[in-house]
Amino acid sequence: MAEQGRYLYAVCRGLTPAAVDGIVGLGGRRLDLVAEDDLVGLVSPVDLDEYGEEGLRRNLERLEWLEEAARGHDAVVQAAAAIAPTAPTRLATIFYDDDAVRQRLREQHDAIVAALDRVEGHEEWSVKVLTRTVDASPEPVAVLASGAEYLRAKRAEQEARLAGDRDAHVVAEQVHEALVAVVAASRRLPPQDPRLAGHEGTMVHNAAYLVHRERSEEFVALVQGQTEAHPDVVVDARGPWPPYSFAMLDDT
Between residue 98 and residue 127, which ones bind other proteins under the rule CB under 8 A?
A: 100, 104, 108, 112, 115, 125-126
SS3 annotation, 152-172: HHHHHHHHHHHHHHHHHHHHH
Shortest Å distance, C-beta 195 to other proteins: 5
Shortest Å distance, C-beta 144 to other proteins: 10
Shortest Å distance, C-beta 185 to other proteins: 13
Site string for other proteins, 154-193 (x = CB under 8 A): x----------------------------------xxxxx
Torsion from C-alpha of 81, 247, 105, 26, nearest 10 degrees: 50
Shortest Å distance, C-beta 163 to other proteins: 20
Nearest Cα neighbor of 74 from 7, 9, 17 is: 9
Instruction: Determine how many CB atoms are found less than 10 A away from the CB of residue 55.
Output: 17
Nearest-angstrom CA–CA distance, 162 and 221:
30
* Window contacting other proteins (CB under 8 A); options: 22-30, 31-39, 163-171, 222-230: 222-230
- Order of strands, edge to edge, in the sheet holding 4-13? 32-36, 39-47, 4-13, 94-95
Task: Please pick, from the candidates 95, 109, 129, 156, the single residue that binds other proteins as defined by CB under 8 A.
Answer: 95
48/167 with CB nearer other proteins: 48
Q: Based on the shown chain and the rule CB under 8 A, indicate whether residue 4 belongs to the binding site for other proteins.
A: no
Instruction: Determine how many CB atoms are found less than 10 A away from the CB of residue 107.
Output: 11
Q: Based on the shown chain and the rule CB under 8 A, indicate whether residue 63 belongs to the binding site for other proteins.
A: yes
Q: CA end-to-end span of the chain, whole Å?
A: 36
Task: Please pick, from the candidates 60, 134, 163, 170, the single residue that binds other proteins as defined by CB under 8 A.
Answer: 60
24/66 with CB nearer other proteins: 66
* Window contacting other proteins (CB under 8 A); options: 23-31, 32-40, 94-102, 178-186: 94-102
Q: Based on the shown chain and the rule CB under 8 A, indicate whether residue 43 belongs to the binding site for other proteins.
A: no
Q: How many residues make contact with other proteins (CB under 8 A)? A: 75
Nearest-angstrom CA–CA distance, 191 and 216:
24
Nearest-angstrom CA–CA distance, 178 and 218:
12
